[in-house]
Amino acid sequence: MLAAGTAIIVAFCFVALFAPWLAPHPAIEPFGENYLGSSPEHLLGTNDNGSDIFSRLIWGSRTTFTVVVCATTIVLAIGLAVGLTAGLRGGFVDTAAMRVVDVFLGLPILPLLIFVATLAGRSLTVSILMIGLFTWPQTARVVRSQTLTLRQRGFISSARGFGAGPWYVIRRHLVPSLGPVIAANLVFVAGLSVAIEAGLAFLGLGDPMAVSWGAEISRAVGNPQILIDQLWLRWLVPAGLALTLAVVGFTLVGVALEPQFNPRTNRAR
C-alpha cells in the first residue's frame, strides 16, 4: 500500500511541477474548435470552448497541488501551535483550546463555506484559507493527545528536571515522537484538501477562472450535451479519475503510516 500510494503522490507532484512542459496546449484556448473528438493533436478532444481537455487536466494538477501544499502548511502551523500549547500547558489553556476545537468540529461545514465564499468572494486564496480553517482542529487534537501521552510518560518532566528549556524539549523529545503521528495525519489532511477544493470548485464556490479538476467536473456536468457522442467519457471521466486517484494516493500513504492500521504493527493486548 505504501508503495502504491507514494508512487501516485510522486507522479502527481511531477505532473504538477512540470506541467508547462508536459501540457501540449495552453489551458485556455478560447477560439479553438469546440467539441472535437479525440485525435493525436487533442488526446481527449476539446471542450465547449475549444480548449484541449488533456492539457487542462495537466494544468489542473497545478491548482490542486498549490492548494494541497498551502492548506497543509496552514493546518500544520495552526494545529501544531494549538495542540502543543494545549498539551504542554494543560489546565485552563488546554480546556479553552479544546472548547474551541469542539466548536469547530461541531459546526456544519458546508453552509458556512457557502456563506464565506459568497461573502469573501471566490478565489483560490479563499478556498485555501477555508480548507485550512476547517481541518486544523483534528491535527490539533492529535498533537495534543500525543503531547499528553508524552507528558504522562515523564520524559518531559525529567528533561525539565535536568534543566532543559522548553525548546530543547520540543526539539529532542516532542518532534521525534510527534513526527510520525503528525505525518500520518497531515497526509490525510492533504487528501482531504484535494477533496474539499474539488468540492468547492464543483459547487461553483472556487475561483471561476482557475483550471481545477473540480471545476472541470462541474463544467462538464453542467453541459447539456454531456451524454452525446461519448463526451462524458473524454471530459468527465478523466477529471473524476484524476481526482479520485490523487485522493486515494494520499489515503494509501496515510493508512500505511498509521500504526494501528498497518496490520503488521497492530498488536493485540
Partner 1 sequence: MTPTQVPAPAGEAPDTADAAGTTEVRNEAAPPRRRRPPWVSLGAYVVTVLALITLNFALPRLMPGNPIDALLAQGADGAVQNDQTRAALTEYYRLDQSIPEQYVHYLGGLTRGDLGRSTTTNGSVGEELGGRVGWSLLLMVAGMLISVAIALPAGIHSGWHRSKRADRNLLGLFLTLQNLPIYLVAAAAFTLLVSKLGLFPPGDATTLFGGYTGFAYVLDVGRHLILPALLLGLDFATYEFLVMRSSMVSELGSDYLLGGRAKGLRQRRLKYHYAARNALLPVVTVIGLQFSVAITSIIFIERIFAYPGVGEYMFLAIGQRDYPAMQGAFLLLTISVVTVNLFVDLVYRRLDPRTSM
Partner 2 sequence: MTTPIARRTFLKGMGGAAGAVLLSSCAGDTGGDSDRTPPGERPTVRVVSWTLLGFPSPFTYTAAPGYWRMSLLFDTLLWPDSTGKQLPWLASSYTASDDGLVHTLDLRDVTWDDGRTVTARDVAFTYEYYTSKTFTPLLIGVPPKVASLRTTGEKTVEFRLERPDTTFVSKVLGTMPIVPEHVWSTINDPMSAASDPGALIGTGPYKLASRDEAQDNEAYEAKDGYFLGTPYVKRIEMRPPANDDPLATLAAGGLDAAAGPPSGARNEILAPFRDDPKYGTITADGAFSFPMYFNLKRGGALADLRFRRACLHAIDREDILRRLLTGNGQVGSAGWLAPANPFYEPKVREYPFDRTEAERLLDEGGYRRSSPGGSRTNSDGSPLRYVLFISDSIPIALAEILNASLKAVGVDVDLQRIDLPRLFGVKLSANYDMLVTLYPGPAGGGPTGDPELLRSVFHSKPPTPLSSATGYSNPEVDRLIDAQVATLDLEERKRQVSQIQKLVAEDLPVATLYYTNAFYAFRKKVFDAWYFTPGGFGPGIVEPYNKQVYVTGQKTGTQIRQP
The span from the CA of 173 to the CA of 177, in Å, is 6
Q: Using CB under 8 A, which of the segments 20-28, 46-54, 58-66, 260-268 binds partner 1?
A: 260-268
Is residue 199 involved in binding partner 1 (CB under 8 A)?
yes
Is residue 262 involved in binding partner 2 (CB under 8 A)?
no
Q: Using CB under 8 A, which of the segments 7-15, 17-25, 66-74, 245-253 binds partner 1?
A: 245-253
Q: Using CB under 8 A, which of the segments 21-29, 42-50, 65-73, 187-195 binds partner 1?
A: 187-195
Which residues, 6 or more positions from 14, have their beta carbon under 8 angstroms from its beta carbon?
none
Nearer to partner 1, 40 or 265 (CB): 265
The span from the CA of 153 to the CA of 141, in Å, is 18
Q: Which does 219 bind (CB under 5 to 8 A by kind): partner 1, partner 2, none?
A: partner 2
Is residue 155 involved in binding partner 1 (CB under 8 A)?
no
What are the CA-CA distances from residue 256 to residues 108, 160, 202, 234 (Å)?
30, 34, 30, 33
**Grid coordinates in use for 167?**
525548546
| Interaction residues for partner 2, span 14-73 (CB under 8 A) | 28, 30-31, 33-34, 48-51
What minimum distance in Å lies between the beta carbon of 248 and partner 1?
6
Q: Which does 217 bind (CB under 5 to 8 A by kind): partner 1, partner 2, none?
A: partner 1
What minimum distance in Å lies between the beta carbon of 123 and partner 2?
9
Binding residues vs partner 2 (CB under 8 A):
28, 30-31, 33-34, 48-51, 118, 121-122, 203-204, 208-209, 219, 221-228
